[in-house]
Structure 1
Amino acid sequence: MAQIINLPTFSDERGSLTVIEKLLPFEIKRIYYIYNAKEKRGGHRHLKTTQALVCPKGSCEIFINNGNSEQTVLLDSPEKCLILSPEDWHSMDKFTSDCVLLVLASEFFDKADYIEEEYPRD
């Protein structure tokens, strides 16, 4: 199931610096970000890919269904990182107008790794 990890942040009079280092349960092979989102994104799970999601700016909601339970996570801080396992069917929604959603992935893009069918819902 998905989990939140808190990213170490160092702040002083110059500002804040948040670090993603030696925290992720995978080697990063792909990095992308979503912005100017006007509608729901995602709507899939993976065969192999683990992902880490961070909102460095703005906020959005992530709906997760792993086949056994469902949850919705609000990403509203650059210090909050959501780890999605391959079995976590997920969709992203309710993007603020200034939202930037950064995604770090364990695998390179492969369309065959995507499973779009959602688990049955209660």
Structure 2
Amino acid sequence: MARLINLKTFTDTRGSLTVIERVIPFEIKRIFYVNDPDQFKNGRKRMKQAVICLKGSCLIVNHAGAEPQHFVLNTADQCLLLAPEDRYELLEITHDAILMVLASELFELEERVHEPYQYELSLS
């Protein structure tokens, strides 16, 4: 299940420094960023991801449970952690948005999930 964490940021007269090491709960094997993205859906079979909106803002809707989770990323000191079972959509993306993604696995096309996430409701 996705969760939002705050990244430690130090600010003084020289500017701000946001620290990522020792905060992401997995080994980072791939880093990429997307600028000027359009709306899209994503999911990976094995990959954990950490998404940071470096500039602009976006709404991420996660579909990995009975109810969708909504996360607004609009500052560089917020990080959305996504598990392999998470299936998410990027929506309401500003034209100036830059999203950086830290991933636990290298890119493999066959790992991409194209079908919607299917979850089971427990009635017990």
Q: How does 1:1-122 map to 2 (within 5 A)?
A: 1-37=1-37, 39-41=38-40, 43-119=41-117
Please say which of residues 62-71 and 102-111 is displaced more in the overlay: 62-71
| C-alpha displacement of 1:48 | 0.6
Aligned equivalents of 2:8, 2:79: Cα separation in 1: 11
* Deviation, structure 1 residue 120: 5.3
User: What is the rounded CA distance, in whole Å, between the counterparts of 2:87 and 2:93 in structure 1?
Assistant: 18
Structure (1/2) with the larger strand percentage: 1
Which AA in structure 2 matches 1:40?
Answer: Q
1:78 maps to a residue whose letter is A
Show the counterpart of 2:122: none
* TM superposition shift of 1:69: 2.9
- Relative to the length of structure 1, the TM-score reads 0.91
| Corresponding residue SS for 1:112 | helix
Q: TM-score, normalised by structure 2?
A: 0.90
1:60-106 per-residue CA deviation (whole Å, 9 max, x = no partner) reads 11110114331111000101000000000011121112110000000
Q: Matches of 1:106 and 1:119 in 2, distance apart?
A: 20
Which amino acid counterpart does residue 59 of structure 1 have in structure 2?
S
Local SS of the residue matching 2:43: strand
How many residues align? The count is 119
Query: RMSD in angstroms over aligned alpha carbons?
Result: 1.4
For residues 66 and 52 of structure 2, the distance between their equivalents in structure 1, rounded to whole angstroms, comes to 24
Task: Give every structure 1 segment of 4 or more consecutive aligned residues whose post-TM-superposition deviation is greater than 4 Å.
Answer: none
